[in-house]
Amino acid sequence: MRIAVFISGTGSNLKSLIDAEKNNEFNSSINLIISNKDAKGLFYGKGANIPSFVIKNDNEILEKLKEYKIDLVVLAGYLKKVSDVILKEYENNIINIHPSLLPKYGGKSFYGIKVHREVFENNEKYSGATVHYVDENIDSGNIVLQEKINIQKFNSPEEIQKEVLKIEHNILKKAVKKIEEEK
C-alpha cells in the first residue's frame, strides 16, 4: 500500500513508521506527509525525503491524496477532525493511533496528557494504546490492534504517557502490516 501520514506535533509515531519501513517491517511505503500546521514532526519527513506539506483545507488534502495515489491514511497525532470530504473517499482506509484502551478515555476532549491524567486519577490498573479505523465520530471506529500494560507501579500521568507512547510506536507498524496482509 501507498501510505499518507497526518501529523500535528512531535511526530514520534511518524518516525516509528519511517524506521519500520526502512527495516522492512511492512511492505507498504510512506509516500506523503500532511500536517495542519508547521509541526516539528515534518523534520522526519524531510530527513527521509518524503513529500511533506502543511495543508489546512480538506479539499486540498484530498487532491494531494489522489495526486500521490494514496491507499491508506494514518493519523499519527493529528489533532484535527477529518471531514466528510476525505472520509467519503477513504472510508475504511483511515486509521488512527490513540493513547488509551478505547472505547475508554476516547472522544472529543481526550487527547495528549489529558488522557493519562484521567486514567491516573481514576486509579486504573491498566492503560495502553489502540489503533482503530476512523469513522465520522471521534475515536469510535473498529479496532485494528490494542495493547495494554499494567500501570499500577507508575506514579504520574507523565510516566504513563511515556510507557504508552512506546506501545503506540510498537502497535502502529504492526497495524499497517496487519492491514496490508488483510487486503
Shortest CB 16 distance to ligand GRF, Å: 8
Shortest CB 66 distance to ligand GRF, Å: 25
Shortest CB 111 distance to ligand GRF, Å: 6
Residue ranges of alpha helices (H) inside the chain are 12-22, 42-47, 58-67, 84-90, 113-121, 157-182
- Residue in 98, 116, 132, 169 annotated catalytic: 98
Residues forming the site for ligand GRF (CB under 6 A): 7, 9-13, 41, 76-77, 97-99, 111-112, 165, 168
Nearer to ligand GRF, 53 or 69 (CB): 53
Among all residues, whose Cβ is closest to ligand GRF? 77
Nearer to ligand GRF, 61 or 134 (CB): 134
Shortest CB 145 distance to ligand GRF, Å: 13
Confirm whether 98 is a catalytic residue: yes
Q: Supply 6's cell numbers.
A: 497526518
Nearer to ligand GRF, 67 or 112 (CB): 112
Nearer to ligand GRF, 98 or 132 (CB): 98
Give the integer Cα–Cα distance in Å for 28 and 172.
13
Give the integer Cα–Cα distance in Å for 25 and 174.
8
Catalytically annotated residues: 98
